[in-house]
Amino acid sequence: MKKYILLAIAVVAVGAHSFAQEAKKEMTSFMEDGLVKWRSEDKGVSFRVGARVAIDGAYYFDDVTDRSSGFGLTEARLRVYSTFADDFDAKFDIDFAGNKVSIKDMYVRYHLGKSGMFYVGNYSEPFSASNIQSSANENLMFKSPTVSALGTGRALGVSYRYYVDRFWGEAGMFSEKISSNESLGDKGWSFSTRLLFRHTPCGEDYGFHVGGSFNFRHANANGFDTGKDDHNRVFNVNSPLESSIDETNFLNATVFNADKVIRYGAEAIGFWRNLYVQGEYIGSNVSRNKDWETLFKRQLGGLWDYDTMEAFMNWYGDDRDINFNGYYAELGWLIKGGNYKYNKTNALMDRAGKGALELLFRYNHTDLDDVDGKWFDGRFYEDQASGKPNNSVSGGTVDSFTLGLNYYVTNNLIVRVNYNYQNLTSYTFLDKNLNSLMCRLFFEF
Strands 388-389 and 379-383: antiparallel
Cα–Cα dist 414/76, whole Å = 15
Q: 3-state DSSP call for residue 310?
A: helix
Torsion of CA 407, 105, 90, 215, to 10 degrees: -110
Cα–Cα dist 271/206, whole Å = 5
Cα–Cα dist 178/264, whole Å = 23
> Which of 210, 211, 205, 213 lies closest to 342 in space, CA to CA?
205
- For residue 153, the one-letter residue type is G
Helices vs. strands in the chain: H and E counts, helices first: 5, 25
Residue 322 near residue 100 (C-beta atoms within 8 A): no
- C-alpha distances in Å from residue 80, one per residue of 5, 155, 192: 15, 19, 27
Cα–Cα dist 140/126, whole Å = 21
Cα–Cα dist 103/100, whole Å = 10
Cα–Cα dist 162/146, whole Å = 27
- Sign of the Cα pseudo-torsion (38, 77, 344, 208, in order): negative
Claim: this prediction has a pTM higher than 0.75? yes
Residues 6+ apart with CB under 8 A from 34: 354, 410, 411, 412
> Which of 155, 88, 167 lies closest to 126 in space, CA to CA?
155
Decide which of 1.10.3720.10, 3.60.20.10, 2.40.160.10, 1.10.1420.10 is the CATH code for 2-444.
2.40.160.10
DSSP string covering 196-249, please?
EEEE--TT-SEEEEEEEEEEEEEPPP-S-BTTB-SS--EEEEEE-SS-SSS---
Residues 6+ apart with CB under 8 A from 13: none
Cα–Cα dist 183/168, whole Å = 36
Residue 379 near residue 371 (C-beta atoms within 8 A): no
- For residue 243, the one-letter residue type is S
In degrees and rounded to multiples of 5, residue 12 shows phi and psi of: -65, -45
> Which of 27, 321, 345 lies closest to 170 in space, CA to CA?
345
Q: Where are the domains of the chain?
A: 2-444
Cα–Cα dist 417/441, whole Å = 9
Residue 380 near residue 391 (C-beta atoms within 8 A): yes
**pLDDT tens sequence for the chain (445 residues):** 444 444 444 444 444 444 444 444 455 655 566 566 666 655 567 778 889 999 999 999 999 999 999 999 999 999 888 888 778 999 999 999 988 888 899 999 999 988 999 999 999 999 999 999 998 999 999 999 999 999 999 999 999 999 999 999 999 999 977 755 667 777 789 999 999 999 998 878 999 999 999 999 988 777 677 667 677 788 899 999 999 999 999 999 999 888 899 999 999 999 999 999 999 999 999 998 888 888 888 888 787 788 888 888 888 887 889 999 999 999 999 999 999 999 999 999 999 999 999 999 999 999 999 998 888 888 888 877 778 888 899 999 999 999 999 999 999 999 999 999 999 999 999 999 999 999 999 999 8
Cα–Cα dist 142/387, whole Å = 42
